[in-house]
Amino acid sequence: MSLFGQAAASSSTNTTGDISKDVALNAPPEDGISDLKFSPQSEHLAVASWDKKVRIYEISASGGSEGKALFEHEQPVLNCCWSKDGTKVVGAGADKAARMMDLSSGNTTTAQQVAAHDAPIRCARFVDIPQQNSQMLVTGSWDKTIKYWDLRQANPVASVTCQERVYSIDVVNTLLVVATADRYINIINLSDPAKFYKTMQSPLKWQTRVVTCFNDGSGFAVGSVEGRCAIQYVEEKDASANFSFKCHRAAQTGVASNNNTNVYSVNAISFHPQHGTFSTAGSDGTFHFWDKDAKHRLKGYPEVGGPITATDFSRQGNIFAYSVSYDWSKGYSVNTPQLANKVMLHAVTGDECKPRPKTGAKR
């Protein structure tokens, strides 16, 4: 039986995907959803929210979900992440703190503070530093710094000052990418974690919303508020493969449209763990699967009923989770209790995320 029972295999000839079988997460957060992450070791999903909580759910093969643990911050939680062994979950919050729950201890309700900044912490990731015996935590803040934390110590091991407020970070192997305000992107080789290996301005002209590393650590994808995504390699020898493309845009309709286009923010980018293809999701309430090597869109999906704020693939790549929630793209006055607030689970089937078949040499 296929995942979620009835999810149909998609056809390579049909570029419009099906969301009719997507399953809603039980007991979702009570306010806007800022982030979600699957465990790298089990079928558990962590969800961070503006309701000041991080929730951990267990996901079944049938698409069912059950809350297993929950911990609170003093202010909205902006990001969450898992340790490599799947035993620890960290939340990064507007309370200027990162808090960690150790699930291996049997604790399901409280977390200890493991990091502090002088302004809200926008993002956190566990990292492996070469020659270090244990995983460390890196946090990025609106105080314009990133800090490395040995979880056995109260003070940071190192702090690196950035040009501007940190908006997004991601890490794969020894590649750490830090995106800040004013479109700066800092690349760090974790073999030398206290300095920038390379600094660049985003190839996109407007504010960066998200950076996500390729699975092999050779580069990263950038999403911006202008409905555009960039594929960027770290080393100059690969520069010829860099490109950007438009996405999450829609033609205006009506007499007064004048052929104008509505442009939406790209809020989330996730790479499939097996295939290396990736998703984009945005304020327009749609998500798409792409093959960066073929420069080809694999599937596009209908509007889901509200902006998509966060996405992630499960460790085996058979579930794609996305949160439908207000993303503040139109200001506080548009945020009403009637807006959708949910996490959906999409069964990845057939060739939805498989790379485009390679053809023979061009003539």
Low-confidence residues of the chain: pLDDT under 70: 1-13, 254-257, 359-363
Confidence at residue 61, expressed as pLDDT on a 0 to 100 scale: 85
Confidence at residue 359, expressed as pLDDT on a 0 to 100 scale: 62
Confidence at residue 7, expressed as pLDDT on a 0 to 100 scale: 43
Q: What is the pLDDT of residues 197-255, one digit of tens each?
A: 999 999 999 999 999 999 999 999 999 999 999 999 999 999 999 999 999 998 887 65
Confidence at residue 1, expressed as pLDDT on a 0 to 100 scale: 31
This prediction has a pTM of 0.93
* Partner residues linked to 48 by β-bridges: 35, 54
250 close to 308: Cβ distance less than 8 angstroms: no
Confidence at residue 257, expressed as pLDDT on a 0 to 100 scale: 61
At 304 the three-state DSSP class reads: coil
Confidence at residue 170, expressed as pLDDT on a 0 to 100 scale: 98
Tally Cβ neighbours within 10 Å of residue 85: 12
Confidence at residue 5, expressed as pLDDT on a 0 to 100 scale: 47
Mean pLDDT taken over the chain: 92
